Amino acid sequence: GDIVLLAKPVTLTEGDRVTLTTDVPVATDGTSKPEKLLYAVSLPPVHGQIEHINYPGVPISSYSQLDVVAQKVSDVHDNSHGAGKELVR
């Protein structure tokens, strides 16, 4: 089926962390099992990384819709000076 991904931009400033919720990325593929959806981080944040909250400091390259629903995924700004704000999509 068709895959639909809706995302709201989130702005992070130096040192910020935002936990992804279904308000930020929410996807559906037209099946009755959205919990089976997997996200791949194809373009990681320039000034930070995507992390699983149980493993802070370790970047991840994929996560599931269940991880998002359970609020287990964060985008973390890396505190780099002069980086200013970063837009997460």
* Structural domain boundaries in the chain: 34-77
- CA diameter of the chain: 45
pLDDT tens, position by position, 45-67: 888 899 999 999 999 999 988 89
Q: Is the pLDDT of residue 15 over 60?
A: yes
What Cα–Cα distance (Å) separates residue 66 from each residue in 18, 41, 45, 46, 48? 17, 16, 22, 25, 23
Q: What is the pLDDT of residue 54?
A: 94
When pLDDT is averaged across residues 2-7 and rounded to a whole number, the result is: 62
- Supply the pTM of this predicted model: 0.71
